[in-house]
Amino acid sequence: MKEKIFIEGGRRLSGSIPISGAKNSCLTLMPLSLLSESELTLKNVPILSDVETMKALLESLGCVVSYQKSNNILNLRMSDKPLFLAGYEIVKKMRASILVLGPLLARFGEAVVALPGGCAIGARPVNLHLMALEALGASFSIENGYVKGKVATSLKGCKIKFPFESVGATANTIMAAVLAKGTTELVNVAREPEIIDLCTCLKSMGCKIEGDGERIIVIEGVNSLKGTIHNVVMDRIELGTYMIAGAISDGDIKLTGGNVALLEKFIEKLHEIGIEIKQAEDYLRVRRISNAPISSTNIDTEPFPGFPTDLQAQMMALLSIADGVSKIEEKIFENRFMHVPELIRMGANIEIKGRKAIISGVDKLKGAPVKATDLRASVSLVLAGLAAEGQTEIDKVHHIDRGYEDIIQKLKSCGAAIKRV
What CA–CA distance (Å, rounded) separates 226 from 169? 24
**What residues are paired with 75 via a beta bridge?**
41, 66
Nearer Cβ to ligand UD1 (124/150): 124
Nearer Cβ to ligand UD1 (327/355): 355
Nearer Cβ to ligand UD1 (74/169): 169
Report the residue number whose CB is nearest to ligand UD1.
168
Sign for the pseudo-dihedral over CA of 194, 197, 201, 202: positive
What CA–CA distance (Å, rounded) separates 330 from 102? 29
Q: Contact at 8 Å (CB) between 197 and 173?
A: no
How many other CB atoms are there within 10 angstroms of residue 356's CB atom? 14
> Rounded to the nearest whole angstrom, what is the least distance from the CB of residue 394 to ligand UD1 in the complex?
20
State the residues that interact with ligand UD1 by CB under 6 A: 24, 27, 95-96, 122, 124-129, 166-169, 190, 194, 309-310, 332-333
Q: Contact at 8 Å (CB) between 390 and 9?
A: yes
Nearer Cβ to ligand UD1 (13/299): 299
Q: Contact at 8 Å (CB) between 342 and 371?
A: yes
> What is the pairing mode between strands 40-43 and 5-8?
unpaired
> Rounded to the nearest whole angstrom, what is the least distance from the CB of residue 399 to ligand UD1 in the complex?
13
> Rounded to the nearest whole angstrom, what is the least distance from the CB of residue 332 to ligand UD1 in the complex?
5
Nearer Cβ to ligand UD1 (64/123): 123
Catalytic residue among 119, 199, 207, 414: 119
> Rounded to the nearest whole angstrom, what is the least distance from the CB of residue 95 to ligand UD1 in the complex?
6
Is 207 labeled as catalytic in the residue annotation? no
Sequence-distant (≥ 6) Cβ neighbours of residue 309 within 8 angstroms? 301, 330, 331, 332, 333, 336
Residues serving a catalytic function are 119
